[in-house]
């Protein structure tokens, strides 16, 4: 489908994307007063079905973000689900997509402290899968920018304004010739990527920062910990990670709904192992895709059929 012709859900109506407008003076436009989710839906050719991945968990986090930022939202989880299903069906997608579901402070009289009126848009975006084969992997720089913390702007909430911190780190890394950044938190320990969580492998064990280390409570992070434990018998330790551990780890990857699992091959100029995708990362990647595409019945409650 022509991207310009797709329909967006805005305030309860299905509108052509180019006609979906928000007032320039709204607090979302002026101050980043919005919370959102990026939800993956995977097309299953055999079943001729599109499956949204871990929708209930995305909606739980969206409600948490709304609560943290004191937004007076009228939306229930059922409203979230109905809007998503309606807009995807209206567009008739039969391919992998990502859905951006954003709850925002609307209106033209508001300020940065306004709690209402709350509005929502739901925008499907066609998006293919990340391929691990033939992909070189990421070269990362430990950022000179510190990750926001729960003492200032909580990384636990998925609020639009948080991404300015991500932006600074990512663009600095690219300016310096890297693909992206790894941010340290206010304790000088590894936090996360600009839009992703971080894992490394040391001595056949997965290691990732705890959810209190200035990271988003990531759904992919949780998925990886669970499938590593239940399907691959690989243990994950959630603990602080020192910067120099990045230079001596056996494998590393960034993960998130958008980037799925993407191997990191170099950090600050130090090659990660031999600079190729590691075995544990590859096994996790393959298993992750099996789960997303419904090949493991024990995780079927994570998949919501759209049609």
Ligand X SMILES: Cc1ncc(COP(=O)(O)O)c(C=O)c1O
Instruction: Name the segment binding ligand X (CB under 6 A); options: 24-32, 101-109, 193-201, 264-272.
Output: 193-201
Residue of 65, 143, 196, 263 interacting with ligand X (CB under 6 A):
196
Residue of 218, 262, 266, 287 interacting with ligand X (CB under 6 A):
218
**Is 257 a residue that touches ligand X (CB under 6 A)?**
yes
- Contact yes or no for 242/248 (Cβ under 8 A): no
- Contact yes or no for 7/90 (Cβ under 8 A): yes
C-alpha span between 116 and 96 (Å, rounded): 34
Instruction: Name the segment binding ligand X (CB under 6 A); options: 25-33, 190-198, 203-211, 244-252.
Output: 190-198
**Residue 140 phi, psi dihedral angles, 5° rounding:** -115, 150
What does the per-residue mask of binding to ligand X show for 4-43, with x meaning CB under 6 A? ----------------------------------x-----
**Least CB distance from residue 96 to ligand X, whole Å?**
15
C-alpha span between 113 and 232 (Å, rounded): 47
**Is 195 a residue that touches ligand X (CB under 6 A)?**
yes
Q: How do 236-238 and 118-126 pair as beta strands? A: unpaired
Tokens at residue 237, please? 């330790």
> What stretches of 32-135 show up as alpha helix (H) in DSSP?
55-68, 77-91
Query: Would you say 38 or 117 has its CB closer to ligand X?
Result: 38
**Is 220 a residue that touches ligand X (CB under 6 A)?**
yes
Cα–Cα separations (whole angstroms), residue 165 to 145, 198, 211: 8, 17, 18
**Is 192 a residue that touches ligand X (CB under 6 A)?**
yes
Instruction: Give contact residues for ligand X (rule: CB under 6 A).
Output: 38, 166, 192, 195-197, 216, 218-221, 256-257
């Amino acid at each position: 489908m022509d991207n310009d012709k797709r329909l967006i859900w805005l305030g309860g109506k299905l509108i052509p994307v180019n006609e979906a407008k928000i007032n320039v003076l709204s607090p979302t436009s002026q101050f980043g007063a919005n919370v959102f989710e990026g939800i993956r839906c995977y097309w299953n050719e055999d079943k001729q079905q599109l499956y949204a991945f871990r929708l209930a968990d995305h909606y739980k986090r969206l409600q948490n973000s709304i609560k943290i930022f004191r937004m007076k939202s009228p939306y229930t989880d059922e409203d979230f689900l109905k809007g998503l299903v309606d807009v995807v069906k209206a567009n008739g997608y039969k391919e992998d997509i990502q859905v951006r579901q954003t709850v925002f402070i609307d209106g033209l009289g508001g300020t940065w402290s306004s709690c209402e009126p709350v509005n929502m848009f739901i925008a499907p975006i066609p998006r293919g899968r990340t391929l691990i084969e033939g992909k070189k992997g990421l070269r990362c720089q430990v950022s000179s920018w510190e990750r926001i913390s729960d003492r200032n702007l909580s990384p636990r909430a998925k609020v639009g304004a948080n991404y300015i911190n991500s932006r600074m780190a990512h663009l600095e890394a690219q300016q310096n010739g890297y693909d992206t950044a790894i941010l340290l938190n206010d304790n000088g320990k590894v936090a996360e990527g600009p839009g992703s969580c971080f894992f490394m492998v040391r001595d056949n064990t997965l290691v990732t920062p705890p959810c209190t280390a200035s990271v988003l409570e990531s759904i992919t992070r949780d998925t990886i910990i669970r499938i590593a434990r239940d399907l691959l018998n690989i243990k994950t330790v959630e603990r602080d990670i020192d910067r120099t551990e990045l230079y001596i780890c056996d494998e590393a990857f960034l993960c998130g709904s958008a980037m799925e699992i993407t191997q990191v091959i170099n950090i600050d100029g130090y090659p990660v192992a031999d600079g190729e995708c590691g075995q544990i990362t590859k096994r996790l990647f393959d298993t992750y895709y099996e789960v997303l595409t419904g090949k493991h019945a024990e995780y079927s409650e994570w998949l919501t059929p759209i049609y």
